[in-house]
A and B are shown apart, each in its own frame.
Chain A
Amino acid sequence: MEVAQVSVFLENRSGGLVEVIDVLAKHGIDMKALSLADMADFGILRLIVDDPETTRRVLKEAGFTADKTRVVAVEVPDRPGGLGETLHALRRNGINVEYMYSAARRKGESAIIIFRFDEIGRALDALRGAGVTVLDRFDPL
């Protein structure tokens, strides 16, 4: 299963990130996972939230460019080497990871990792074939 991620374009200036966070707080939007990729002049904030469409809309109304992207959320055992099993499965199948990051919270004994693939269908097959738990929806405890 895929999970919808909201990506937001950010200028690299002081206070830019907090303005996005304030918009989300004002609308009672809870962030379940986030990552910030940054270059010298700009950055991309990636978020996993409950209602991506509403999130995209409120950000747009506040003057931000935001987009929805399909990503894959998997559960990996929260122990040394836990992530490696998943990455090996991907490598065996020749699947590139565009980017990945971990969720803010754990689910029981597991960590949750968000993956962005170009070939999402092949990636899902490879993960399931290797017995990796792919989350249907993003609902950490």
Chain B
Amino acid sequence: MSNWNDPASGFHPWSASDYLPRPKLAELQLQRLRSTVTLAYTRVEHFRKRMTERGLAPDDIGSLADLARLPFTVKADLRDTYPFGLFACPMEEIVRLHASSGTTGRPIVVAYTQADIEVWKEVMVRAFASFGVHRGDIIQNAYGYGLFTGGLGAHYGGEALGATVIPISGGNTDRQIMLMQDFGSTVICCTPSYFLHLVERAQEEKIDFSRMRVGVFGAEPWSEAMRQRIQKDTAIRGYDIYGLSEVIGPGVGAECVQQAGLHLYEDHFFPEIIDPATGQVLPEGAEGELVLTTLSKQAMPMIRYRTRDVTTLVAEPCACGRTLRRIKRIERRSDDMFIIRGVNVFPSQVETALLKVEGTLPHYAIVLTREKGLDDIEVQVEVTPEIFSDKMRAMETLHRNLGHALEQVLGIRAKVTLVEPRTLARSEGKAKRVLDKRTI
């Protein structure tokens, strides 16, 4: 048996598709795109209607560039056709349904045939392999199991890879820490904010988790500064994974050991970058909204789905040798930006500012208020034992430094409030960081 702890030994035969020569990949993409458009057009009324309105038929797709002629699909289309309106297969062929929480209204439903499940499994295996995870690894899967795609996506991928999967699901921090120690988990899958929470608890209780070497972090935006912090405090290498239920779930893209962007599994998902305001496709290298088209999905093909995630497509070859293009780490969404006093602000900017002030763990909340027509931004920062001092002078300095760092990054003044740990809700899933109390 080779050395299990050598990340370089991680290889899986399915990873071979990561290294396809670009011309061969493009040929495969066009062939699959044409089948997908034909499937959507013939089986899904919604897509047929949208194309007919524009005088388009599947035969109009003669090249990959022709994709830009097709209309976008947005989240509202999934809600409006709830529950089964976008399915391209009869229920007899559908083996799985997942759904979103529907926090902003009706939930959305996504479907999979057995072939779709196999594709999902394949891309997750390729993602784990690119993190250096392999047979013999013990994967503690703390993504939520159930309607959310995170848990089962990582689960099936981990098993197909040949690793040992602990289906612990999210939450229950004490049990997470106990199994981490007793089972000697070498890999953890969870949201980055929940991981910080776990590390904090494990360190308090002096739990040894030195066997853990890989963190698979996704389902919410996180920053490079957060990774540096994780890698400095622990022996864990943290990798970003990308995905969304509307497209397949986790496994649309993943970092490799270079930690320099996420390779998209372009043989299954075709990426475009657009200007979120005009919908125009942007030239390579420009920052914009990621739009994805599925190339092999059967149950629910997705044509030009607007992800609302803001990123840049990187075409330069990666040092790892994969030919798949990369997207830059997604730190913000085109819709979680807020505008305050005419300035665009993203929560990730607030995070950058907080991390600049040494010793501040990113437990924070942003509260937006409006008084007499004037918007105000308040950033509540939790006072942890690391930054707490019994000296008033030190606390005042901390308070002032946080204010300065925020003003520098945001370009506007923000009120900083230091709060007790119990004031901010701990995230055990996706962190809700912005509280908009403004009434217009």
- In chain A between 8 and 43, which residues have their CB closer than 8 angstroms to a CB of chain B? 9-11, 37, 39, 41-42
Query: In the complex, are the beta carbons of B391 and A99 less than 8 A apart?
Result: yes
Q: Cβ of B388 < 8 Å from any Cβ of A? A: yes
- Smallest Cβ distance from A17 to chain B, in angstroms? 12
Complex: how many Å from CA A85 to CA B392?
26
Q: Which of A7, A41, A116 contacts B388 (CB 8 A)?
A: A7
Query: In the complex, are the beta carbons of A64 and B388 less than 8 A apart?
Result: no
Interface of B is mostly: mixed
- Our count of residue pairs bridging A and B at CB distance below 8 angstroms stands at 54
Q: Cβ of B417 < 8 Å from any Cβ of A? A: yes
Q: Cβ of A44 < 8 Å from any Cβ of B? A: yes
- Smallest Cβ distance from B424 to chain A, in angstroms? 10
Known A9-B383, A41-B417; contact A62-B388, beta-carbon cutoff 8 A: no
Q: Cβ of B384 < 8 Å from any Cβ of A? A: yes
> Can you name the residue of chain B whose Cβ is closest to the Cβ of A45?
B390
Q: Cβ of A109 < 8 Å from any Cβ of B? A: no
- Smallest Cβ distance from A10 to chain B, in angstroms? 7
Give the interface centre of A11, A63, A69, A116 by most chain B CB atoms within 10 Å: A11
Complex: how many Å from CA A30 to CA B384?
25
> Can you name the residue of chain A whose Cβ is closest to the Cβ of B391?
A98
- Smallest Cβ distance from A15 to chain B, in angstroms? 12
> Can you name the residue of chain A whose Cβ is closest to the Cβ of B422?
A63
- Smallest Cβ distance from B253 to chain A, in angstroms? 38
Query: In the complex, are the beta carbons of A42 and B390 less than 8 A apart?
Result: no
Known A7-B388, A9-B383; contact A39-B396, beta-carbon cutoff 8 A: yes
Contacts of A9 in B (CB 8 A): 383, 388, 395, 418, 420
- Smallest Cβ distance from B65 to chain A, in angstroms? 57
Q: Cβ of B283 < 8 Å from any Cβ of A? A: no
- In chain A between 25 and 82, which residues have their CB closer than 8 angstroms to a CB of chain B? 37, 39, 41-42, 44, 46, 62-67, 69
Query: In the complex, are the beta carbons of B390 and A44 less than 8 A apart?
Result: yes
Size of A's binding interface in residues, CB under 8 A: 21
Q: Cβ of B423 < 8 Å from any Cβ of A? A: yes
Q: Cβ of A86 < 8 Å from any Cβ of B? A: no
Contacts of B422 in A (CB 8 A): 62-64
- Smallest Cβ distance from A56 to chain B, in angstroms? 9
Contacts of A66 in B (CB 8 A): 385
Give the interface centre of A46, A63, A65, A99 by most chain B CB atoms within 10 Å: A65
Q: Cβ of B62 < 8 Å from any Cβ of A? A: no
Contacts of A69 in B (CB 8 A): 390
- In chain B between 362 and 418, which residues have their CB closer than 8 angstroms to a CB of chain A? 383-385, 388-392, 395-396, 399, 417-418
Contacts of A5 in B (CB 8 A): 390
Query: In the complex, are the beta carbons of A37 and B392 less than 8 A apart?
Result: yes
Q: Give B residues with C-beta under 8 Å from A.
A: 383-385, 388-392, 395-396, 399, 417-423
